[in-house]
Amino acid sequence: MSAASPHSPEIKLQVRGLAKVYGQTTALDHVDLDVRKGELLTLLGPSGSGKTTLLQLICGLQDPSAGSVIIDGKDQTHAPVNKRDIGVVFQNYALFPHMTVAENVGFALKMRKVSRSEIAAKVARALETVGLAHAAGRLPTQLSGGQQQRVALARCLVYDPAIILMDEPLSALDAKLREIMQIEIKRIHRETGATIIFVTHDQQEALALSDRVCLMNDGRIAQLGTPQAMYETPENLFVADFIGVSSIIRGTVRGGQLHGPFGALPIHGATPADGTEGALVIRPEAITLGEGAYEGQVTETVYGGSELRVILNAGGQEIILRAPAQDGEPLVGKTVRFGWAPEAARFLKD
């Protein structure tokens, strides 16, 4: 990734060579990252990938073993938490139970010695933004989980921090409420233009929310890009396997084809050298059921409303595809034909 000038108005946050080591364990391995002003960037990855460590180093909850954190062109690597102009929305909301919604939202302004009239105006504006103007006088215990999360977000928005960090803020909500809150966060981000770094292990959430996704693995960045680029053009097998659902067919290249579990498969584009170990990655929507050059046995079907997910066994290789539900559900155990256009399969080195 090319480094931008620390004084570039388009770059809100620069992370350079950031590392965190605990004894013999490297939690974060010299990461470089630029976050653009006004974007919603998601840090995504499995447990232990380094995403939460990176977040904690950015906001100052931990000291780095190496590297720097630059916010708005100013080195904040060793600045205390309260001097970094960063707002944090935690998973557990962290609201004061004895304070009203308005008092919770205005607390940071009160600590900054802002006048009462200005606090009242800013709190009213923040609560209006998150759709909770009617709940200003309520206590947190009188609110639903989704409403409490909105209060936590309003508490960040009210003093207009340089960056808002959101650490898995929706993980405690049920599936329906998570979906509603995702839409709300997208709306609030669009209307406020805030710079948001959102941490999650949920790839669907990352694809739905983000301007860009930073996928992490083993303390490093595996790939950084738009949700569409991450899904359609993964740069390595970890990304292809983690983002979305894929059939990953491993094998060895010989004579311009991939020799794997069920024969020789064509490789589209530049032909890798013979002996190259790798895999073809095919997304489920690219595979057709009922026609094609290959055969497999149906091992499972999953009904999803308008579509079916069909799982096949082809010579010991698992193949996953989607089919319209109105076409009918193939019987488990039935042998069916399937196939894909060669250009729909992406070859990646192992």
152 burial class (0-12, 13-18, 19+ CB within 10 angstroms)? buried
Alpha carbon distance 152, 146 (integer Å): 10
For the segment(s) 11-237, the CATH number from 3.90.190.10, 3.40.640.10, 3.40.50.300, 3.10.310.30 is: 3.40.50.300
What is the per-residue pLDDT across 279-306, written as a single tens digit (0 to 9) for each?
999 999 999 998 899 999 999 999 888 8
Average pLDDT for 226-242: 94
CATH number for region 245-349: 2.40.50.100
pLDDT recorded at residue 8: 44
What is the per-residue pLDDT across 26-44, written as a single tens digit (0 to 9) for each?
999 999 999 999 999 999 9
Cβ-based neighbours of 302, under 8 Å, separated by 6 or more: 308, 309, 311
pLDDT over threshold 80, residue 7: no
Alpha carbon distance 104, 71 (integer Å): 26
Alpha carbon distance 271, 288 (integer Å): 25
> Which of 94-98, 150-154, 168-172, 265-269 shows the lowest mean pLDDT across its residues?
168-172
Per-residue burial over 88-103, b = 16 or more CB atoms within 10 Å of its CB, e = otherwise = bbeeebebeeeebbbb
pLDDT recorded at residue 261: 87
Average pLDDT, the chain: 91
Sign of the four-CA dihedral 245, 172, 84, 60: negative
Helices (H) and strands (E) in the chain, counts: 8, 19
The phi and psi torsions of 295 (rounded to 5 degrees) equal -125, 145
Local structure of 209: helix, strand or coil: helix
Grade residue 1 by pLDDT with cuts at 50, 70 and 90.
very low
Grade residue 347 by pLDDT with cuts at 50, 70 and 90.
very high
Domain boundaries along the sequence of the chain:
11-237, 245-349
Average pLDDT for 159-180: 87
Alpha carbon distance 153, 175 (integer Å): 19
